[in-house]
Structure 1
Amino acid sequence: MTTTEALLFGRRRERAIGLVVGFSVAVGAVAAVTLLASAVDLRPVATLSARTLPVLVVYAPAPIAAVGAYARCGGPACLAVGVVPVVLLGALLAVASTIGAPGVAGGAWVVELTGSFLIGSVASAFVGFCAGVTAALVVDLVGIRSDG
């Protein structure tokens, strides 16, 4: 498999799955803690996790996708780092608003919030993927082996 094929389509399926699932679990855990802390009225925890969640969803996909691209996990896995956690967050918010969790009002805002997070997260993952591919190609050009 050539370097370009490995970078675009991936060579390490297990590592790619671990990358996407691990990040999704982290986002889901922070979202669950935020909702739970809001429900039981733990203001410091709810405030901290509510401020951490947007940073985790929008900004964290870039470095994670960069590492995934450098490790040759492939473009689909790196872009999934931007999509899967936001879909998980949207599903969690939809379920919370459906069951009437305190502090979570139902309505179209769930779709709007998820859509805006999705745009930012996918853009962040794409930039990270491009940075990781560039780093891998530069390292290969210099002659240092980056593919194990």
Structure 2
Amino acid sequence: MRKIPVKYGIEILVICLTPFLFMISESISNGKVTGILFSFGYLILVGFVIFGIRYWIENEELVIQNLLFWKTRIRISEVSKIEKTWNALSSPAPSITGRVEIYYNKKSIVISPKNFEEFKNELLRINPNIIIKE
């Protein structure tokens, strides 16, 4: 198993933490204990969603763990193209910058590997027929 580091963007953290800061400040100023508990519940949930994303290569498959128990497995031999993208669709890519769209079996998925060159080279080592668009 070869782990692929995930790129975490500060912009995603700011977008996700802004509602928490608003909720916690309103709850504290109004003295609402349930609001404070809800705010921290939101923070824990967002933390699991963002920091639960993992990528690795196992038995010539790219495995993308989206949440604790939800995994997407892509046979690298079926990957036809990889291209850098600014696609902002919801995906297991916790960064706005450095997103990569992977095309396979008439599907695609967007991820954000920390080092695109290492990621690209690792996939090309297994499947040299992948088209790379940077």
For normalisation by structure 2, the TM-score amounts to 0.34
Structure richer in strand, relative to its length:
2
Structure richer in helix, relative to its length:
1
Larger relative contact order (CA 8 Å, sep ≥ 6):
1
For normalisation by structure 1, the TM-score amounts to 0.32
